[in-house]
Amino acid sequence: MNQLIKYFLIISIFILTSCGDHSKPIVIDGSGTTPIINLTSGPYAVIVGQEVTIGVETQFGVSEPIYTAIPSPTGIAQVNKLPTGQIVIKGQKAGSTTFTITDQANPTAVPRTIEVTVKDPPKLEVTPDPIDGIIGQSILLEITTLNPENDAKFTLLINDTSVANILDAANNPNLIELLKIGITKVTIEDVNNNLTKEVTITVK
Structural domains of the chain, ranges and CATH numbers in brackets: 36-119 (2.60.40.1080), 123-203 (2.60.40.1080)
Query: What does the pLDDT average to over 176-187?
Result: 98
Contacts of 140 (CB under 8 A, 6+ apart): 172, 174, 175, 176
- Cα-flanking dihedrals φ and ψ of residue 177, to 5°? -100, 130
Q: Give residue 3's pLDDT band: very low, low, confident or very high (50, 70, 90).
A: low
pLDDT of 24: 37
The yes-or-no verdict on residue 111 having pLDDT over 90 is yes
Sign of CA dihedral 168, 169, 173, 179: positive
Q: What is the pLDDT of residue 32?
A: 67
Measured in whole angstroms, the distance separating CA 15 from the mean position of its chain's CA atoms is 66
pLDDT tens digits, one per residue of 137-168:
999 999 999 999 899 999 999 999 999 999 89
| CA atoms within 13 Å, Cβ hemisphere of 82 | 13
Count of CB atoms situated within 10 Å of the CB of 98: 13
Q: Span 50-74, mean pLDDT?
A: 97
| The pLDDT of residue 9 is above 60 | no
End-to-end CA distance of the chain: 135
Cβ neighbours of residue 30 closer than 8 Å, sequence gap 6 or more: 60
Q: Is the pTM of this model over 0.85?
A: no
In angstroms, the CA 91 to CA 94 distance is: 8
